Amino acid sequence: MNIPFAESYKIKMVEPIRKSTKEERLQWIKDARYNLFNLKSDYVYIDLLTDSGTGAMSEQQWSALMLGDESYAGARSYYNMKNALKNILGFDYFLPTHQGRAAENVLFSVLVKEGNIVPGNSHFDTTKGHIEFRKAHAVDCTIDEAFDPQLEHPFKGNVDLNKLEKVLKENPKEQIPFIVLTITNNTAGGQPVSMENIRGVSALAKKYDVKLLFDSARFAENAYFIKIREEGYANKTIKEIVLEMFQHADLATMSSKKDAIVNMGGFVCFRDEELLKKASTFNIMFEGYITYGGMSGRDMNALAVGLDEGTEFDYLETRIKQVEYLGSKLAEYGVPFQRPAGGHAIFLDATKILPNVPKEEYIAQTLGVELYLEAGIRGVEIGTLLADRDPDTRENRYPKLELLRLAVPRRVYTNNHMDVVAAAAKNVYDRRNEITSGYKIITEAPIMRHFTVELDRVK
C-alpha cells in the first residue's frame, strides 16, 4: 500500500475554537449588519477571512522572538533580517516596514508621480490604491485566460507580453516608474507566474529601460508551483528557484504576513543604494528609523526565521496540498469554484452556486452569509461590494466574477476543518433553489465600503 501524504509538522500548542448554534449565528450576523468583518472572531468556528498575518509560527520562530534585540539603531535583529534577505532573495539593501502596504507607500513616495503609468498583472488593491492616490494609473496586462474561472491553466497569473509591450511602446519611459509583477497573482485567484514569463517580463523591462518591481507577498508559493509545474525545475530546490526568480527584479515589496509566516511585518528591497537613500527619508517619516521601520526587534527575528522556513519544500507542500484538498472535496461535491485551486485560497463561484439571487442583491455576500449560518465559516466577498461604486456616476460597478474567497491560514487548520468547510458549501449549494434573495445596503463608506458596509435582508 502507498503511504499517504501527511503534514510536515506536529502540534505543540493549541488554541480552542468554539462551535455555535444556528440560532446564535442568526442573531450574531444580524447584529453585525450582515457584514462578516463586524463579527467577533469568537463567533467564528473556522476563519477563512484571510491568510494575512493569521499563520501559526513555529517553535524556532517563537524562540527567535526571545532573542530579539530592541536597540533603536543597529539592532542584531535588523542584521538577522538583512542576512536572510541577502541569502534567500539575493538583495543587498532593504528597509523594514510594518506591513506590505507600508512598503508600497515608502517606495512609491519616491518613484510614482502624477500622470505615471504602472503596468502589471492584476495589481493588488493596496498597490493600486497607492498608485491611484498619487494620481497615476495602473494598467492590467494579465493574460486573458485568468478571467475564465473554469479554464485550467498552470500559470494563470502570467503577464500577456504583447499587452505589456504595447504599454511600454506607447508611453515614454520617463512616465513608467516600474512594472509591477505580483507573485503569486492574488487578485486572479492566487495563481502563479511562470519562470518563463518572469524572464519575458524582465527582457521587456530591459529593452525599454524600465525597472521591474516584484510584489512578493506569496513568492514562495509561486516558487513551489514553478517546481511542480514548469519544465526544468523539478530537481531544483525552492531556495534555488526563489533566487533565480528574484535575479530578475530591481525592486521588491513584501507583505511578510503572507509567505514569511509572521503576524506583522514587511519590507522593501533595493539593488540601488541611491534609491535606498531616497526612500530612507520616507521610511523615517512614515515607519520608523531605517534599522527597524515599524517592526520590533523580536518581529524582525521571527521574520528572518519565517523566510527560511517558508522556502522549504516540505512546508510548502503541506500548505498547498491543503488548499488543493479543499478544492478536491468541493469538486467531488460539484460545488463550482475557480480552477485550478490557488496557492493560498479557493474562490467559490457565487453566481453559479446561487443562480437565483439577483446581482443587485450582492450574490457573493449572500453566499458568505449563508456559509456562516450553515457552519460558522467566515470567507470574504470578492464581488460587487468590493468593487465599490463608479467614482463619477456613483452607480454600482458589477465585476466579471462574483467570488467568495476562502483563504487558508498557514499551519492553522487540519484537513478535518477543510472537510467541514466543503460539507457546509455543499449544503448551501444543495439549498440553492430556496435562496432567491440577497441584501440591500443601509449605510456605506464612499470608498473601500466592504469593510464597514451595513446591510439588511431584501426579504
Residues annotated as catalytic are 72, 124-125, 215, 217, 258, 450
Contact 348, 425 (CB under 8 A): yes
What residue number has its CB nearest to ligand PLP?
100
Least distance from ligand PLP to the Cβ atom of residue 177, Å: 17
Q: DSSP letters of 387-424?
A: H-B-TTT-PBP--S--EEEEE--TTT--HHHHHHHHHH
Least distance from ligand PLP to the Cβ atom of residue 100, Å: 2
| Contact with ligand PLP (CB under 6 A) among 126, 296, 301, 384 | 126
| Contact with ligand PLP (CB under 6 A) among 45, 78, 124, 282 | 124
Please list, in sequence order, all residues whose beta carbon lies within 8 angstroms of the beta carbon of residue 175, skipping any fewer than 6 positions away. Answer: 115, 116, 117
Least distance from ligand PLP to the Cβ atom of residue 52, Å: 5
> 87: how many CB neighbours lie within 10 A of its CB?
14
Q: Which span sits near ligand PLP by CB under 6 A: 5-13, 122-130, 198-206, 354-362?
A: 122-130
**Position 127 contacts ligand PLP (CB under 6 A):** yes
> 42: how many CB neighbours lie within 10 A of its CB?
10
- Rounded to whole angstroms, how far apart are CA atoms 307 and 92? 16
**Position 61 contacts ligand PLP (CB under 6 A):** no
Which C-beta is closer to ligand PLP: that of 80 or that of 216?
216
- Strand-pair category, 137-140 with 117-120: parallel
| Contact with ligand PLP (CB under 6 A) among 58, 77, 99, 191 | 99
**Position 100 contacts ligand PLP (CB under 6 A):** yes
**Position 257 contacts ligand PLP (CB under 6 A):** yes
End-to-end CA distance of the chain: 54
**Position 215 contacts ligand PLP (CB under 6 A):** yes
- Rounded to whole angstroms, how far apart are CA atoms 81 and 135? 34
| Contact with ligand PLP (CB under 6 A) among 52, 77, 80, 116 | 52
Q: Which span sits near ligand PLP by CB under 6 A: 95-103, 205-213, 294-302, 375-383?
A: 95-103
Render the burial of 96-110: b for 16+ CB within 10 Å, e for the rest.
bbbbbbbbbbbbbbb
Residue numbers of the site for ligand PLP (CB under 6 A)? 52, 99-101, 124, 126-127, 182, 186, 215, 217, 255, 257-258, 266
